[in-house]
Chain A
Amino acid sequence: MLSEYLPVLLHIVVAIGFAVSALLVSVLLGKSGRTNRTKDTAYECGMVPQGEAQPRFSVKFYLVAMLFILFDLEIVFMYPWAVVYRETIGADKTILWSMLSFVSILMVGYVYALKKGALDWKN
């Protein structure tokens, strides 16, 4: 069972090795020039940087992240349902109606978020 995952581990190690070695070769081969104070400042199209480096941003981004977690969980709940669906559906159709009712409850929340304007980026 666990030996199935050994190649996955090997593959991930190779992927990490590739990324790290690419950076390492670049560090070793890259010519380094002189540094000065201007070279160390943040890039703002050649002007002197103004204000905070990380300005305040719209609260909408937080809302999207929260809604994502909510609905992504819903989707994960649907995966095991979908996998056993075909072998269970035979005579008894309960599995279809139970998922429909589950999703329709969630859709109330979705419609609420939509009507509240949580996903409206125009204003």
Chain B
Amino acid sequence: MDYFLIGTSLAKIAGLLAVVLGIMNYSVYAERRISALIQDRLGPNRVGPAGLLQPIADAFKFLLKEDFTPGHVNKFYYWLAPCLAMIPAIATLAVVPFGSTLFGVPMVIADINVGVLYVFAIASLGVYGIVLAGWSSNSKYPFLGGIRSSSQMISYELSLGLAVIPIFLVAGQLRLTSIVRFQIEHGWMIAPFIGDWTNIGKWLLAVPMLVSFLVFTIAIFAETNRLPFDLPEAETELVGGYHTEYGSMKFGLFFLGEYIAMITGSAIIVTLFLGGWHLPLPSWHGGFHWAVVNGSAPGWRGIIGGIFNIACFFAKVAALLFIFIWVRWSLPRFRYDQLMRLGWVFFFEIALVNIFVVAVIVAYISK
């Protein structure tokens, strides 16, 4: 047994979970405050200064409410469903590199060579939580919500899967750390001005990459059931959708699992398209170039560099989370036929054509 590997892995898992659960709690708070700002009202501002302790109060409320299981449900699956909504969202984070190195230890829990496949394999399990919740509740609204959701999530998984193929064409790797390293050397996928910016082929590639990025981001919105794709829990039609029959922490796991899924989705967008933990700093030391800060420098400079990289990563994730919230409070919900048409006809075709645009550019222009 490799005790060093187990020890560092457990430390990284604990650290990552602490940060992610913290972001989760405060993204709920941020959602409520930003929605209040957008709708010109106050939002939660009573618990602690500016309402900053609201997440703690919410957590206690989830835990102290009556833990009630209605008599008409299928007990086993009713209890399994909230766990299945939460576990895949957390488990997907195992392969995402959230920093360079710190004390010589790479800041990724598992650097496996099938990284992106692992992400898709685990993230798509999330649909089971929602379908089982809808089915096991033995009630009309949850049932309709679960059916809608299964159909919606698998439809947008197609666009999700197609939108990442251009990255493999360019980077030639499934390993997420290698994709980040590729972006450090050649510039971010959608920002060709970083790195060797005189390369014409890179500027050409950035256009289909931007299309890919937009398709992927919108598909993540649909996968996480966020507005404008929140038909599985459309309040005006389905009460609460798939979690109508749930209460206390069982509802809490659905609710918080959605936020964790948002964080995981943002982390994957950042890793694939926005350069991961990398933030290029302009340097004029001996002619202009982009300086790379990482944790490999000796002594305290390496430690600060490592922490800086982790901070960059989570800052990018937080920026994307803000966009998630902003979109939710700005756009109305789709109708179901519009949603399916958008996923199957519009995104599917765009993503497919996009792959061959990239393939032709790689083949003939940017070798």
Contacts and interface: CB of A to CB of B under 8 A. Distances in A.
B154 to A, nearest CB: 4
Contacts, number: 220
A83 interface: yes
B344 interface: yes
Contact of B86 (A15, A67, A75, A110): A15
A7 B5 contact: yes
**Contact residues of A: prevailing secondary structure:** helix
Contact of A61 (B64, B151, B252): B151
Interface residues of A, number: 69
B261 interface: no
B249 A25 contact: yes
B208 to A, nearest CB: 13
Interface string B153-179: 011011001100100111011100000
Interface string A20-35: 1011011101111101
Given A26-B248, A39-B70, A121 B340 contact: yes
B112 A8 contact: yes
Given A8-B95, A12-B91, A82-B165, A22 B253 contact: yes
Contacts of B304: none
A18 B86 contact: yes
Contacts of A82: 165, 168-169, 355
B30 interface: no
Nearest to A12: B91
Interface of A: 3-8, 10-12, 14-16, 18-20, 22-23, 25-27, 29-33, 35, 39-45, 49, 53-55, 57, 60-61, 64-65, 67-68, 71-72, 75-76, 78-79, 82-87, 89-90, 93, 96, 99-100, 103, 110, 114, 119-122
Q: Top 10 closest A-B pairs, CB basis?
A: A26-B249, A40-B71, A121-B337, A42-B139, A82-B168, A30-B67, A15-B90, A7-B9, A11-B94, A7-B110
6 contacts: A8-B109, A11-B110, A19-B253, A22-B249, A41-B72, A89-B362
Given A6-B110, A78-B162, 4 more contacts: A19-B83, A57-B147, A87-B172, A89-B367
